[in-house]
Amino acid sequence: MQPEATERLQKIAEFVLARRAKTEAGHHKEYTAFDYDYRWRHTLRVVQYGKQIAEAEGADIELTMAACLLHDISKFDDVEYGREHGRVSARIARPFLVTLGYTPEHVNNICFSIAVHVDDKADFEYPITIESKIVSDADNVDRFGAYRLLLQFKDHTEKYETLVEKAKNRLLTLKKYRSENIMETPTGERLFNRQLDLQISFLEHLVEDSKLTVEV
Ligand SMILES: [Fe+2]
Ligand SMILES: [Fe+2]
């Protein structure tokens, strides 16, 4: 990557972190330090997954990484935007991207990827791009990572039967996803299936082990 591209990406990361710092200092939101930390680390992993997928799919690497960095920026506000958070993030990103010297075309490309990452809807007209498919895939790959699996089950480890029931239910969902092609790029699908296989294997072990907890 060109040094100017790396510099722009660093400025984008600083922009996101400044927004996080401002909200965190204000203590407005019901967020804990963990929530801010999780969101930022998730963002960084999405950037790396996005880069990996963009390289394999021949997409624009800088535009993909820029959109990944900004995709959840509105989550650092003291407002909860729900399913709007992609479109709000794109609106926050747009004027800042202009100051970095991106062309109007590049600004639109980045903002479109950010806007549609939640529910495929943008609030401006733009054709679907390979970069927008990749940002959505990268986000979903991280949402099904090993760490998210731990987070999902962390409050249930002391209630064994509830935990096993939860694992069985989760397995049904994961196996359904595994049988479908739900990612938008072949590389995204491969990475997503790797996550699913890990989660399925782990949860199947958990359920299998539970069959051993019988009285002799
Ligand atoms: Fe998001
Ligand atoms: Fe995300």
Average confidence (pLDDT) over 91-98: 98
- Write the DSSP assignment of 145-160 as a string of letters: SHHHHHHHHGGGTT-H
- pLDDT tier, 60 (very low <50, low <70, confident <90, very high otherwise): very high
Can you give the pLDDT at residue 1?
Answer: 85
Average confidence (pLDDT) over 189-212: 97
Residue 53 lies in a domain: yes
**Total structural domains within the chain:** 2
What is the whole-number distance in angstroms between the Cα of residue 57 and the centre of ligand 2? 20
Average confidence (pLDDT) over 56-65: 98
- Give the SS3 label for residue 95: helix
Q: Are 72 and 90 in contact (CB under 8 A)?
A: no
- pLDDT tier, 198 (very low <50, low <70, confident <90, very high otherwise): very high
Q: How far lies 82's CA from each of 137, 166, 179, in Å?
A: 19, 25, 28
Ligand nearest to the CA of 89: 1
pLDDT above 80 for 27: no
Residue 93 lies in a domain: yes
Shared-domain flag, residues 173 and 203: yes
Structural domain that includes position 185: 144-210
Ligand nearest to the CA of 142: 2
What is the whole-number distance in angstroms between the Cα of residue 185 and the centre of ligand 2? 17
Q: Are 58 and 134 in contact (CB under 8 A)?
A: no
DSSP letter for 124, please: S
Predicted TM-score of the model (pTM): 0.95
Shared-domain flag, residues 175 and 124: no
Shared-domain flag, residues 156 and 65: no
Instruction: In whole angstroms, give the CA distance from residue 61 to residue 69.
Output: 12
Shared-domain flag, residues 124 and 151: no
Percent of the residues in the chain that have a pLDDT greater than 90, as a whole number: 90
Shared-domain flag, residues 162 and 57: no
The count of other CB atoms within 10 Å of the CB of residue 165 is 14
Instruction: In whole angstroms, give the CA distance from residue 169 to residue 165.
Output: 6
Residue 23 lies in a domain: yes
pLDDT above 90 for 5: yes
Can you give the pLDDT at residue 32?
Answer: 83
Shared-domain flag, residues 117 and 66: yes
pLDDT above 80 for 28: no
Residue 13, domain CATH: 1.10.472.50
Note the pLDDT tens digit of each residue in 100-139: 999 999 999 999 999 999 999 999 999 999 999 999 999 9
Residue 169 lies in a domain: yes
Can you give the pLDDT at residue 30?
Answer: 75
Instruction: In whole angstroms, give the CA distance from residue 63 to residue 1.
Output: 12
Shared-domain flag, residues 119 and 161: no
Shared-domain flag, residues 121 and 59: yes
Q: Are 149 and 128 in contact (CB under 8 A)?
A: no
pLDDT above 90 for 78: no
Shared-domain flag, residues 98 and 158: no
What is the whole-number distance in angstroms between the Cα of residue 36 and the centre of ligand 2? 12
Shared-domain flag, residues 149 and 102: no
- As a residue count, the chain comes to 216
Residue 36 lies in a domain: yes
Residues lining ligand 2 (ion), CB within 5 A?
72, 139
What is the whole-number distance in angstroms between the Cα of residue 49 and the centre of ligand 2? 12
DSSP letter for 59, please: -
Ligand nearest to the CA of 84: 1
Residue 202 lies in a domain: yes
Residue 134 lies in a domain: no
